[in-house]
Every structure is written in structure tokens, then in C-alpha cells.
Structure 1
Amino acid sequence: MSSYKDKKVITIGIVNEITGLTCRMIRYYESRGLIFPERTERGTRKYSFSDIELLMEIADKREEGIQTYEIKQELLNDNKKREVRDQLIQGQLNAQFNMKKL
């Protein structure tokens, strides 16, 4: 079951109000592959609280002078680390409790 933080229910205008980022900047981060909003049937972008947190991290890194390419690489590396960690935990569960994939 997904967390409330991951439900994509917030429009770009609200994200703009919460973060202070312009709609144009939010769309730019999307075009750079840093954020992935869902789209409604009419094409409206919908964001989650997790997306907002990520946007704030991205904005902070940009203020520090980090380029979007570097941020994307860091995000990809973080995802790979999480996948490896999850596989290790699953392997330990399998070995300890003879469990199948959760």
C-alpha cells in the first residue's frame, strides 16, 4: 500500500504556492527527467507530497550551483542503491525465514 505522500493529487499551481518555484521551473525539472508528475485525461499535471520534497531538494542543489545533469545522476545512483539494498534485505529474509518475494 502506498503512502499518502506518494499520491499524485496536487496541481502545479499549488506546488508553485508551496515551493515558491515558478510553474515554468517545475516544468523544466520535469523536462530534464528529475520529476515525474502524473497526467489526468485532460493533461493536467498532478504531483505528490514526495514530489514537492524532491523539488525542494532540487531547488536547494541548484542554488548551490549543482547542474541538473549532476542532480539526475545523483538521483539515479540513489535509486540503484535502494534497489540493491532491497535485494539484499529480500535475500536475507529468504535465507532466514524461507520467504518468497514480498
Structure 2
Amino acid sequence: MTSSYKEKKVIGIGIVHELTGLSERKIRYYEERELIFPARTAKGTRKYSFSDVEMLMEIASMREEGVQTTEIKQDMNKAQKRKIRDHMRRGQLNAQFNMRK
């Protein structure tokens, strides 16, 4: 199963800076706040996906509106829990009705 091109961690921080307009320092700060999770090469270079770039744009937009990073993280956690819960429900329904994707 191949992952979507949007999920592949192939973009360096310099390109992310150019795409988003965010400083490299701010991008690293959002990583420190656990709002994004870049991959690391063997030498420690950060690699981002297109999904990460989209998330950074959303974060920047929310920050411009005055939303604090702690609030953003809480919202992200809620969304992730909802996604997991929905996935589990689909699995239970599929098992109950012997359905497959």
C-alpha cells in the first residue's frame, strides 16, 4: 500500500519556509509545541510533507486570529481522538455485518 504523495516527508525546512512564509525558527517552534512532526534523516535534517505544509498554513492562520498554540494542540488532539473513534466504529460495523472496504 503506497501512501499519498501528500504524506511523504521529502521537503526541507528551507522550502517549507518559502512555501509558507514562516521563518525557520517559527517552524521549529511549532515542532517544539508538538503541532507538527517532521521526519529526520540520519544526519538529523528535518523533512516535511505537503500535509505538514498545509498544517503549518492552518496554524499560522489560527495564530493570526489570536488562537494560542495550547488551544491549537487541544483542538488537534480532539480531532485525532474523533478520527480514531470513527475508525473504530467503522471496524466494529464492518465486523458486525461482515463487510469489507
Q: How does the TM-score come out when normalised to structure 2?
A: 0.95
Which residue in 2 is equivalent to 1:70?
71
Structure 1 CA distance for aligned equivalents of residues 59 and 44 of structure 2: 24
Structure 1 CA distance for aligned equivalents of residues 59 and 33 of structure 2: 12
Aligned-CA RMSD value: 1.2
Which residue in 2 is equivalent to 1:93?
94
Matched residue pairs, number? 100
Which residue in 1 is equivalent to 2:28?
27
**1:11-32 CA-partner distances (Å, limit 9, x unpaired):** 0000000000010000000000
What letter is aligned with 1:63?
Answer: E
Indicate yes or no: 2:54 matched with 1:81.
no
Structure 2 portions without partners, runs of 5+: none
Structure 1 portions without partners, runs of 5+: none
User: How many percent of aligned residue pairs carry the same amino acid?
Assistant: 56
Q: How does the TM-score come out when normalised to structure 1?
A: 0.94
Q: Report runs of 4+ in structure 1 exceeding 4 Å deviation.
A: none
**1:11-68 CA-partner distances (Å, limit 9, x unpaired):** 0000000000010000000000100001101110000000001000000000000000
